[in-house]
Amino acid sequence: MSPVESGGAAGAATVTDAADRVHAFDAAIALAPQGEGEWHGHTSAAYANMIGPFGGITAAQALHAVLRHPQRLGTPVAFTANFAAALADGPFVVLARPVRTNRSTQHWIVEMRQHDRTVLTATAVTALRRDTWGATDVAMPGVPPPHEVPPPARRGRVEWIHRYDMRFIVGGLPPAWDGAEGHNSRTQLWVRDHPARPLDFTSLTALADVFFPRIWRRRATMTPIGTVSMTIYFHADEAQLQATGAGYLLGQAQAQAFRSGYFDQTAQLWNEAGELLATTHQVVYYKE
Amino acid sequence: MSPVESGGAAGAATVTDAADRVHAFDAAIALAPQGEGEWHGHTSAAYANMIGPFGGITAAQALHAVLRHPQRLGTPVAFTANFAAALADGPFVVLARPVRTNRSTQHWIVEMRQHDRTVLTATAVTALRRDTWGATDVAMPGVPPPHEVPPPARRGRVEWIHRYDMRFIVGGLPPAWDGAEGHNSRTQLWVRDHPARPLDFTSLTALADVFFPRIWRRRATMTPIGTVSMTIYFHADEAQLQATGAGYLLGQAQAQAFRSGYFDQTAQLWNEAGELLATTHQVVYYKE
């Protein structure tokens, strides 16, 4: 066993041990209040990406500041996070302020900073939701249940991937990085936190960023990428998240266009009962 | 001719006369600089909606402040506008500040205010774009060309609709408001400014909000609605917008879920050459 492999195993063991007491996700999004609308947090080694942390955990940390705010009205309906710079490993500050509070909706501006420089901007809309007529326009695709879909034989090398249980149905990582261009970039997978954790708005936010880059799928080429902006629309209320519990979500993602260094992704997340919990979009920088 | 009809005709004539000199759209988005990152604007009667202005024109006004800013780097890649309150007819203030400028990307926070209250928040990402590999994952649907699609026999009653030439291919306004629920909410239409105007980032922003509410299409019921948040990803650069000129865009929009007072919409805008210029999403409040 090489020193590197030994170190990796020890690191993984630490995360697992910690999960017995506090789930790695809860440890990662923990925020310490510093006064009106200001929190201190810290990047998490358990959710490290190639450069800086997994964007989904950063987005979850930013939304967490809104959820922790004593003046918050209702639950999230829309959340947009713009990734202004890769976070450095270490502490960060989150500022969340409600800029407009109406009878049933509230609008938020969020900034995350390191060393007095902005690393993330975000806006959120929270709302008191009511029972109304409802319908789904995009039904869950017919797929085999999670226990019939095996985990992938090989995984990416970044740490955060080990925090998720992913079972690809369509469009897993390319079998070879041979540049064989495909006809579309669709992926379908069952996914949940690993170890399993009851779903809430913060973990759903991170799960919305769980798809590997669509350009890798379409091109079978591992070009460097970085998410620039990500939006989530929450269709679920707290009762639906509670009913979903620690079950799997079916995630489906597809790009619409790749052009001049940026591609987009549109995605849906259903629970096992077939309820569409969230729809999400992002635009991603790619190098070449 | 009733006094009401006479008044309406006179109003329309004024708009047409003005278009000989300055297009109604350019008049609507005009901003007067008030110092570093601050502009004054005014709502436009030509783009009036049922309550307050057409959201697309408000979004375009907000983006215009970014485009006018002397420190702007590159062209828009992502833009999110959150509608915090219906604008009152009259003046408004737009504040646009670049919070992070990198080598090739820039992040913006925008606020629009009336009487010192926030009526809109927005974030934008602008970027210098480069030639890269590119592809389209969602091809333009096969539809008849614009000149073979007649304008609708009847139109909505709000003023802003007359600023657009709309030719519905699939999913026009329901033939009757009889509550006959459909199976999906898809609409396809050819659309451009009326009178025709060369496309730019501001007019493309407004066009991204041109779809009538998906819930009206799905339910054939005119329930009150209001867009809460809207995001646009710009795939086009300036050269593609110039090449598109004053041609028609093919717009396609569909909801994914309607639940507890909010529904989402995902939409695409292609030019006549079949290039996907923008993809856009919004979440919309509905009353019942």
Using the beta-carbon criterion (under 8 Å), do A281 and B134 form an inter-chain contact? no
What does chain B look like in DSSP terms, one character per residue?
--HHHHHHHHHHHHHHHHHHHS-HHHHHH--EE-STTEEEEE--GGGB-SSSB-HHHHHHHHHHHHHH-TT--SEEEEEEEEE-SPPPSSEEEEEEEEEEE-SSEEEEEEEEEETTEEEEEEEEEEE-------EESSPPPP---GGGSPPPSS--SSGGGGGEEEEEEE--S-SS-S----S---EEEEEEESS-----HHHHHHHTT-SPPHHHHHHS----EEEEEEEEEE---HHHHHHHTT--EEEEEE-SEEETTEEEEEEEEEETT--EEEEEEEEEEE--
> Which candidate in A132, A219, A241 is best for mutational testing of the B interface (most B CBs within 10 A)?
A132
Specify the amino acid at residue A11. G
pLDDT category at A175 given cuts 50, 70, 90 is confident
Measured in degrees and rounded to the nearest 5, phi and psi for residue B176 equal -145, 145
Residue contact A100–B119, C-beta within 8 A: yes
Cβ–Cβ contact B265 with A under 8 A: no
Residues 135-194 of B with CB under 8 A from A: 135-138, 181, 184-185
pLDDT at B174: 87
Given a cut of 90, is residue A257 above it in pLDDT?
A: yes
- CA distances (Å), A277 to each of A199, A207, B263, in order? 11, 11, 12
Contact A82 B123 (CB under 8 A): yes
Q: In A, residues 92-121, which contact B (CB 8 Å cutoff)?
A: 99-100, 102, 105, 107, 109, 111, 117-119, 121
The residue-averaged pLDDT of A106-115 equals: 98
Q: Which of residues 189-228 of A touch B (CB under 8 A)?
A: 214, 218-219, 228
What is the arithmetic mean of pLDDT over A188-210?
98
Q: Which of A77, A102, A184 lies closest to B85 in CB terms?
A: A102
Write out chain A residues lying below 8 Å of B281, CB-based: 231, 233, 266, 279, 281
Q: Best interface-test mutation with B: which of A256, A263, A277, A284 has the largest number of B CBs within 10 A?
A: A256
Contacts B254 to A, Cβ<8 Å: 137-138
pLDDT average, residue stretch B199-206:
98
Give the pLDDT confidence score for residue A156 in this predicted structure.
75
DSSP 8-class letter at A175 = S
CATH superfamily of B3-129+143-286: Acyl-CoA thioesterase, double hotdog domain (2.40.160.210)
Interface list for A 14-33 with B (CB within 8 A): none
pLDDT score at A116: 96
Question: pLDDT of B73-87, one tens digit each?
Answer: 999 999 999 999 999
Selection from B17-31, B153-167, B262-276 with the highest mean pLDDT: B262-276
Is the CB of A5 inside 8 Å of chain B's CB atoms?
no
Contacts of A135 in chain B (CB under 8 A): 181, 218, 257-258
- How much is the pLDDT for B2? 29
Query: Hey, where are the domains in chain A?
Result: 3-128+144-286
pLDDT at A14 over 70: no
Q: A124 CA to chain B: closest CA distance, Å? A: 8
* pLDDT value for A181: 84
**A75 — contact with chain B (CB < 8 Å)?**
no
Q: Count each helix (H run) and each strand (E run) in chain A, helices first.
A: 6, 14
pLDDT of residue A133: 95
Q: How many Cβ atoms sit within 10 Å of the Cβ of residue A6?
A: 10
Cβ <8 Å between B129 and A261:
yes
> Which pLDDT score, from 0 to 100, does residue A4 have?
28
**pLDDT interval class at B14 (50, 70, 90):** very low
B236-262: average pLDDT: 97
Computed on alpha carbons and rounded to an integer, the radius of gyration of chain B in Å comes to 19
Between A and B, how many CB-CB pairs are < 8 A? Answer: 219
What pLDDT is stored for residue B155 in this prediction? 74
At residue A105 the predicted structure's pLDDT band, cuts being 50, 70 and 90, is very high
The pLDDT assigned to A19 comes to: 46
Coil/strand/helix, residue A171:
coil
Which percentage of chain A shows pLDDT scores above 90? Answer: 85
pLDDT tens digits for B27-62?
A: 999 999 999 999 999 999 999 999 899 999 999 999
CB-based contact B237:A86 (threshold 8 Å): no
**Chain B interface test: which of A83, A107, A117, A268 (most B C-beta within 10 Å):** A107
Q: What is the pLDDT of residue B233?
A: 98
Residue A20: pLDDT band with limits 50, 70, 90: low
Q: What is the mean pLDDT of residues B162-175?
A: 94
Distance CA B246, CA B197 (A): 5
Residue A155 in this model has a pLDDT that exceeds 80: no
Return the pLDDT at B146: 97
d(CA B212, CA B101): 36
Q: Within 10 Å of residue B146's Cβ, how many Cβ atoms?
A: 18
DSSP H or E segment with residue A78: strand A75-83
- Quote the tokens at residue B107: 């992040």
For B107, the closest of A99, A118, A131 (CB atoms) is: A118
Residue in chain B nearest A109 by alpha carbon:
B121
How confident is the model at residue B7, as a pLDDT?
A: 31
**ipTM higher than the 0.90 cut:** yes
Mean pLDDT within B184-205: 97
Question: How much is the pLDDT for A158?
Answer: 93
Q: How far apart are CA B218 and CA B279, in angstroms?
A: 21
Distance in Å, alpha carbon of B125 to nearest chain A alpha carbon: 8
Region A49-65: what's the mean pLDDT?
A: 96
Interface of A with B in 240-259 (CB under 8 A): 254-259
Identify the closest residue of chain A to B283 by CA–CA distance.
A233
Shortest distance between the Cα of A185 and any Cα of chain B, in A, equals: 7
CB-CB: which of B125, B132, B285 is closest to A229?
Answer: B125
pLDDT bracket for residue B153 (50, 70, 90): confident
Q: Note the pLDDT tens digit of each residue in A185-194.
A: 999 999 999 9
Q: What is the pTM of this model?
A: 0.93
Question: What's the CA angle centered on A169, arms A163 and A174, to 5 degrees?
Answer: 80
Higher pLDDT among residues A102 and A14, named by residue: A102
Report the mean per-residue pLDDT for chain A. 92
- The pLDDT of residue B4: 28
Least confident span in A10-14, A162-166, B187-191, B232-236: A10-14
Q: B20: pLDDT confidence band, cut at 50, 70 and 90?
A: low
pLDDT greater than 80 at residue A11: no
Which residue from B minimizes the CA distance to A257? B136
The reply to whether residue A235 touches residue B287, judged by beta carbons under 8 angstroms, is: no
Partner-chain residue, chosen from B235, B255, B256, that has the shortest CB–CB distance to A268: B256
Quickly name the fold that domain A3-128+144-286 has.
Porin (2.40.160)
CB distance B235–A264 less than 8 Å?
Answer: yes
Using one digit for the tens of pLDDT, what is the confidence trace for A222-235? Answer: 899 999 999 999 99
Q: Which residue has the higher pLDDT, A271 or A182?
A: A271
Cβ within 8 Å, pair B77-A283? yes
- Is the pLDDT confidence value at B267 over 60? yes
Q: Tell whether the model's pLDDT for residue B163 goes beyond 70.
A: yes
**CA–CA separation, A288 and B85 (whole Å):** 41
CA distance B123 to chain A (A): 8
